[in-house]
Amino acid sequence: MPLKKYIRDIQGFPKEGILFKDITPLLINPEARNKCLEILVESLKDKKIDKVIGVESRGFFFGMLIAQELNVGFIPVRKSNKLPYETISATYDLEYGTDTLEIHIDAIQKGDRILIHDDVLATGGTARAVCELVEQLGGEIVQCNFLMELAFLNGRTKFCSNYILI
């Protein structure tokens, strides 16, 4: 099943000049969603994972499903001032500005083996920021998962080297 047909392009969102990759059709279709989850989990079959990070906000969808499949904890990494407990943060560049991500200080214990999941690998800034947060808390990054890549932005060069694209 070619999953690309379940990702639509939206021109000019969230602002002019940006081509947004909408995963809503993938989420709506149970067969496509299940196939996507199967591919993501298959890449982890020989890896020990303690916790899965889902990056706000579209990384939450499959991040939580992966954590459920692996029977491990799920950690939401959110934008500034969205988490209720004490956090650490990392600021990063986007293809259309800057942003800040936060994680609870008690989400990762030293030595925890972490899978990071997000929907799109673009500039690599978001992934690099999340990797920094994991490393600050003493976690070990096992792999980064993405549903798709905007290869022309060269994001691969900016973050942890283990990753998979569906």
What element of type H or E holds 41? helix 30-42
**Which CATH number belongs to the domain containing residue 106 in this structure?**
3.40.50.2020
Cα gap 135→141, rounded to integer Å: 8
Residue at 108 is within a domain: yes
Annotate 43-73 with DSSP letters as a single string.
TTTTS--SEEEEETTTHHHHHHHHHHHHT-E
The DSSP bridge partners found for residue 91 are: 100
Residue 95 appears among annotated catalytic residues: yes
Query: Among residues 69, 95, 135, 140, which one is catalytic?
Result: 95
- Give bridge partners of residue 99 from the DSSP assignment: 92
Judge whether 1 lies within some domain.
no
Show the tokens assigned to 29. Answer: 């279709």
80-110 per-position pLDDT tens digit? 999 999 999 999 877 667 899 999 999 999 9
Catalytic residue among 38, 42, 56, 58: 58
Instruction: Decide if pLDDT at 17 tops 70.
Output: yes
The answer to the question of residue 31 being in a domain is no
Please confirm, yes or no, whether 58 is among the known catalytic residues: yes
In a domain, 69, yes or no: yes
34 within some domain: no
Rg of the chain's alpha carbons, rounded to an integer? 15
Predicted confidence at residue 94, as pLDDT, reads 72
Q: For residue 7, is it within any domain?
A: no
User: Domain tally for the chain?
Assistant: 1
What tens digit of pLDDT does each residue of 130-158 get? 999 999 999 999 999 999 988 888 888 87
Residue 9 falls inside a structural domain? no
Q: Which of these, 11, 17, 46, 52, lies nearest to 144 by C-alpha position?
A: 52
Q: Is residue 81 part of a domain?
A: yes
* Residue 130 domain boundaries: 47-165
Q: Take residue 158 and report the two structure tokens written for it.
A: 């900016």
